[in-house]
Structure 1
Amino acid sequence: MTSSTLLLRLAAPLQAWGDHRAALDTRHTAPEPTKSGVIGLLAAALGRDRDEPLGQLADLTMGVRTDVPGTLLRDYHTVSDHRGIPLLSANLNAKGRQKPTSKPRYVRPTERFYLQDAAFLVGIHGPAGFMEEIAAAAKNPACLLGLGRRSCPPTFPLALGLTHTPLGEALEKHPWLASPHARSLFQKRNRGTAPGTIDVPATIEDPDGESVLNDQPLSYSFSKGRHTTRHVTHRLITLSTGFTPPPDAPAGEAHDPLALLGW
């Protein structure tokens, strides 16, 4: 069976990828897209209902390349009921309904964390025919898409195309996704002499991987178990920045930090 890799560009002013620290009053974000979040995005693009079995979607392999990590944004706000009644707690009764708080609370402070101005290259690998269906849905989604949360729509383009190359190789070959603004900041950080290459981290699904993530989706139904673990490997990928590298230092002027130690 032939297979393909779909490359997605996940970039936006704001992204938020839920992790195991999710709580009622504080919603954290992982530093990169989670598999449960990306598969959920693809399920929405296909028009799948939340209670539908994941089927082939759960069997897809994913890799993430962090081209621009972005910065962390903390959003503080409060929640109240417009009817002026006490808020409910996060605990459920036997009928599955929220219980009232032991002491009536009318205002609850909450925090939401987001990634600002981040850009990720995500590769999804699976059977060629199914990947063609997903690619078409990503370009013409059945539902509105969000990068982790509904309030975080992706910027254009989302789908970068299909390739028959393996997942890791596809992540290595695609050009750097940094925007002109991100490239400008990169150049300023390097005092106007930006290097010609940059090493970016990548997380690639691998059954023999040394790390374990708890973001393999099982179901998106509220009444069922939702995640399990998967193995990944971490690596650095060297990409061209498009900048002309600074000239080498003249002979005899190179600085050797170990020279003072007599090495």
Structure 2
Amino acid sequence: MSVLTLRLAGPLQSWGASARFTRRTTESAPTKSGVVGMLAAAAGIERGDDRRLAPLAALKFGVRIDQPGTRVRDFHTAHHGVTGKSMPLSERFYLADAVFVAALEGDRTLLAELHTALRTPVYAPFLGRRSCPPALPVELGLHDEGGLMDVLREMPWQASAWYRRPYRGRDEIELTVLREADEGEQHAADVLRDQPLSFAAEHRRHALRTQLSDSVRIPNPSARHLPRHDPFDALDEESA
């Protein structure tokens, strides 16, 4: 088994696991449906091609939260493409300034094809919605050693420099990982309806997927140790 890693970073992201009428929410981290959809688009898989989608959906998925971002709300207006009439005002939520490392584990041949597709995508990638382009190249690498958690434990911290600044005094950083539960790991698991079955416009379908919250500790590349300063040292020197 191999692991494909992706860097999901941009001014805005939106990863909805459900949408009801005029309220479009976002999860706090990328969904499997959204990431698989991005890979399928890069590979040129059409929306109704469920046969080619199935191997992508079978990949084991996990995401590391390197920079959680801030949830923001927007009011969206639109007009009907044919009649020109105003559509209902909708409320849409986004994650601003977030950075994630997504990982997919599975067959090396398939992952190598997806890795190549991300470098020369048929359809441009976006972070959940078409209005959310990535700020940096999405592909990070293809790894042939270790499983999904091993790779996420080895990947360098991808957070922005301004976000890392307050953590300069720490040698290591603990990051949250949301991963698919293995067989027999149903305890304390969340359930999301983001396991893609079909992206066809006329019958888009998703199944339930169990997800566990885990954590990894990684080296802090911005760690700096300032000289210790004790103001009482001056008093000790005078008394001496």
TM superposition score normalised by structure 1:
0.77
Relative distance call for 1:248 and 1:203 in structure 2 (3 A) is farther
Letter in 1 for 2:170: P
Within-5 A mapping of 1:49-60: 49-53=46-50, 54-60=53-59
**In the alignment, which residue of structure 2 is the partner of 1:170?**
151
Instruction: Report which stretch shifted further, 51-60 or 72-81.
Output: 72-81
Does residue 45 of the first structure (1) align with residue 42 of the second (2)? yes
Q: Deviations over 1:25-55 (max 9, x none)?
A: 1111000000000000000000010000113
Instruction: Report which stretch shifted further, 225-234 or 26-35.
Output: 225-234
1:81 Cα deviation (Å)?
4.8
Which SS does the other structure have where 1:62 is aligned? Answer: strand
Structure 1: unaligned runs, 5 residues or longer: 87-105, 251-263
**In the alignment, which residue of structure 1 is the partner of 2:234?**
none
**In the alignment, which residue of structure 2 is the partner of 1:24?**
21
Separation in 1 of the partners of 2:82 and 2:115?
45
- 1:199 pairs with one of 171, 174, 179: 174
Aligned residues: 222
**In the alignment, which residue of structure 1 is the partner of 2:235?**
none
Which SS does the other structure have where 2:40 is aligned? Answer: helix
Task: Check the 8 A contact 2:54/2:197 in 1, yes or no.
Answer: no
**In the alignment, which residue of structure 2 is the partner of 1:222?**
201
Q: Deviations over 1:213-242 (max 9, x none)?
A: 221100001333511112222111112222
Within-5 A mapping of 1:40-189: 40-53=37-50, 54-81=53-80, 108-164=88-144, 165-184=146-165, 187=166
Which SS does the other structure have where 1:108 is aligned? Answer: coil
**In the alignment, which residue of structure 1 is the partner of 2:10?**
12
Letter in 1 for 2:185: G
Task: Check the 8 A contact 2:179/2:212 in 1, yes or no.
Answer: yes
1:136 Cα deviation (Å)?
0.2
**In the alignment, which residue of structure 1 is the partner of 2:237?**
none
Separation in 1 of the partners of 2:33 and 2:56?
10
Task: Check the 8 A contact 1:60/1:124 in 2, yes or no.
Answer: yes
Structure 2: unaligned runs, 5 residues or longer: 231-240
Relative distance call for 1:172 and 1:248 in structure 2 (3 A) is farther
Relative distance call for 1:127 and 1:81 in structure 2 (3 A) is closer
**In the alignment, which residue of structure 2 is the partner of 1:260?**
none
Relative distance call for 1:84 and 1:63 in structure 2 (3 A) is closer
Letter in 2 for 1:123: A
Relative distance call for 1:79 and 1:143 in structure 2 (3 A) is closer
Letter in 2 for 1:137: A
1:61 Cα deviation (Å)?
0.6
Identity %: 39
Separation in 1 of the partners of 2:33 and 2:2?
20
Separation in 2 of the partners of 1:77 and 1:129?
41
Task: Check the 8 A contact 2:3/2:106 in 1, yes or no.
Answer: yes
**In the alignment, which residue of structure 2 is the partner of 1:103?**
none
Separation in 1 of the partners of 2:41 and 2:88?
31
1:117 Cα deviation (Å)?
0.6
